[in-house]
Amino acid sequence: MDNKKEKVVIKTSIISIMSNIVLAGFKASVGLLANSIAIVSDAVNNLSDALSSFITIIGTKLAGKAPDKNHPYGYGRIEYMTSFIVSAIVLYAGITAMIESVKKIIYPEVADYSKVTIIIVIAGIIVKIILGLYVKKKGKEVNSDSLVASGSDAFNDAILSISVLVSAIVYLLFHISLEAYVGVLLSIFIIKAGIELIKEAVDNILGVRVESELAKKIKKDVAEEKEVRGVFDLILNDYGPDKYLGSIHIEVPDTLSVAQVDKISRNITKRIMNKYGVVLHTIGIYSVNTKDEKIMKVQKDICNIVFSHEGILQMHGFYFDEQDKCISLDIIIDFNIKNREEVYKNILEEIQDKYKDYQLNVTLDVDISD
């Protein structure tokens, strides 16, 4: 993470912490005085937001540490670990609020709302809307997913606070107490948010599919390099927000020299780094036959065999070596096909049956990126 982005994330998070602590203090005081579990739950939500922002700051600082011998790819993934901790805190806050709300439904206690209560809740809604707009704006400026998410979360908090306000107004006008039920509603929203955050954090730790738009853009740019006939197998390993290291395969004519291939590889690495900040540390080479029409026919025949099977997404890396009697190619089978290995085996047998005198080198590739 660059210094400018880090400073913006930390400054914005500090503002968010201060705002949420002030809101939590006021709401907790008013909620306890008014005997309102809904307002207390809203205060707990604000407090968990403040704690989340604090942990985000710690994660941002640790993630910015320089790489070392034991961690040559840096500490960027610490942000995902801190996200998991924040998620657990949010989930815990939701479950705690749910338990207290259910207790209030079973053993009801009448809330005592006042004009001050209404004013505090309205002020909280206004602050949350302004905070949400500010945090989201700063997040977009520095391309910080965590800040954008925090901004969206602030808007959600404002909506939840509106439900508390409505329950208070209903009680003042009609003397009907809904606050315990509103507390349950608030709890459900908080628990749902916690579960979604945990899922996202776990996905990032495990590793997820490359964002479709980014993958397509990188492949398109690589394909524009002179002499590149095809682009496949883009793998990007995520070592923290905005930090990708990966590899890719390209098809080039079999007439090129090693020096020419080396130049193409270096050009691609430099271009993708400058444009996307992505380090392609490995560029694999597939040689493409260009000298014999007979080979083109063999390729077409094999292509027909491969795509006659269900679930075939791609065939690439085809090379026909007449001298060593070897045929090489990669195939990709959709993850949704349950018997992928069986399909692969059948394809292998059909190709071998047609080209008995040739050694087959057919790789079952993985559908890694779009």
In the chain, where are the structural domains located? 3-206, 212-365
Contacts of 59 (CB under 8 A, 6+ apart): 78, 79, 81, 82, 83
- pLDDT for res 262: 95
Give yes or no for residue 241 having a pLDDT over 70.
no
CA–CA dist 75, 62 (Å, integer): 7
pLDDT tens per residue, range 62-84: 877 878 888 887 887 787 787 78
Which range in 142-146, 164-168, 346-350 is most confidently predicted, on average pLDDT? 346-350
Q: How much is the average pLDDT of 252-260? A: 94
Domain spanning 3-206, CATH class? mainly alpha
Work out the mean pLDDT of the chain and round it to a whole number: 85
- pLDDT for res 278: 92
Q: How much is the average pLDDT of 320-349? A: 93
CA–CA dist 34, 116 (Å, integer): 10
pLDDT tens per residue, range 2-36: 677 778 888 888 888 898 898 888 888 888 887 77
pLDDT tens per residue, range 78-134: 877 877 887 787 788 778 878 877 887 888 766 667 777 788 888 888 988 898 888
The token pair at 122 is: 């309205």
Domains 3-206 and 212-365 belong to one CATH topology = no
pTM over 0.75: no
* CATH 3.30.70.1350 for the 212-365 domain, yes or no: yes
38 HSE (CA, 13 A, CB side): 31
H helix runs in the chain, sequence order: 3-33, 37-63, 78-106, 115-141, 145-174, 179-206, 212-223, 258-276, 293-307, 340-354
Give yes or no for residue 270 having a pLDDT over 90.
yes
**Placement of tokens 């707009």 in the chain:** 133
- pLDDT for res 204: 81
